[in-house]
Structure 1
Amino acid sequence: MWREYPTTPEECWQQSSQGKYYHAALAWARKDGRIGKFPLLRYVPVNSFWDLGATDSTAVWLHQRIGPMDRWVGFREASGEGLLPFILWMESLGCVWGTHFLPHDASNQKQGVEQNTSTLTQFQEIRPSWSFQVVPVVRTVQHGIDLVRADFDTYEFDAEGCKEGLAHIEAYSREWNNRLQWWTDQPRHDEHSHAADALRQKAQAYEDFSDPSTGKPRRPRRRASGLTA
């Protein structure tokens, strides 16, 4: 409507927020000052959260726990690259590494040159000193999205380091039903999905933090079983 029947010049370029999963959460984060200059702290362990693409893009977010806050300090996405370029980029930052969280299918066996292997095995062979954790499957993608929304109040993003990732999760939306002319309950799988899926791994599985009110480890999150990730 804005583009086809604008009432002002600005409306030609305005986009609707309808159907976008994280629009409200990001708007609140901006209002709250949680998107800005939040640089990586080299003395704090950095965790990574991945979405692994076989025929499409691989995406990774870099994360630090700063007090009660989840600080997102970097993002990278690329298509048609192996794991090594991502690892070399990460190592160029000079970080102290925490845990690297991989999606549930990272442990799936696939055919290799001489024997079957998995993405997890490849990671472990390339960087045997790194700590990896495979995130279990959740009941539905929507369940994972709801976990991110519930988690979002603790998120702060370095605007420069996460620029591309922020643009993706801002645009991440439901699928559009042309027949009904309305949004469905299913996420749209497009160029924005990979960043959103990688971000979702944190809310689904990361439970190594201490409760800021007690200093004691949090209780493990009850995980749902299901068929989608």
Structure 2
Amino acid sequence: MIGLSLEALDHLNQSELAWEARVEQFSDYHRLWQRQGVLPLVRRLMVDFDIAARLLGEFAEGERLLTDLLHLGEMLQHASQELDGEHALIRFLAEAIADPDSHGDSHKLRLESDADLVKVVTIHKSKGLEYPLVFLPFIANHRPVSDSDLPLRWHDSEGRLQLSLSADEETLTTADRERLGEDLRKLYVALTRARHATWLGLAALKGGENSAIGHLINGGKAIAPARLLKRLATW
């Protein structure tokens, strides 16, 4: 895992100072294990010995090896919360190696790449990215501006930012209009991320007409459940 060269290993045999320095380094790792757990230890080792770069650079299956190493650290961290002491954890690992099928699905190998996994991201963070399939189950969710959102922010006719510490009806309407404009921009981002197909989760729920998708479908007006499909087909 650490990948020291033969020369480095021989140097440990030849130099007492190098050996003592390495012993002290691993004593620090032991204390880290005792204080914080196995996973922080694994991550520290990866940084100190540049393990990720070496695995990815020297081995064709480097991504697989790196994923396995991180999975092992997570598995041992979780197991240590239910076991008493370091020796119990070492025995647990030895038993898991001896009988790999005895611990259920949680110890099976992870997928080769995150490309095969479902990614959950915010619309904002998806900007500029592309995905084969996109699911937007809560696309009608929105949060209208209310008098509890002080200070309110909006722009005047000349584009200058305005702040208000009070919330009269006109100010709330203006601020919510800007909220809708920002939601429409994010909706455009959401609807243009898919390479093949996009699914929208929609229902004719009360208040949904004030969302960005509700504004596009029916001009911001309430719509009866029976007419939703027809309006979607028209749109």
TM-score (norm 2): 0.22
Please say which structure displays the higher CA radius of gyration. 2
Return the structure number with greater helix share.
2
Instruction: Give the number of the structure with larger relative contact order, counting CA–CA contacts within 8 Å between residues 6 or more apart.
Output: 1
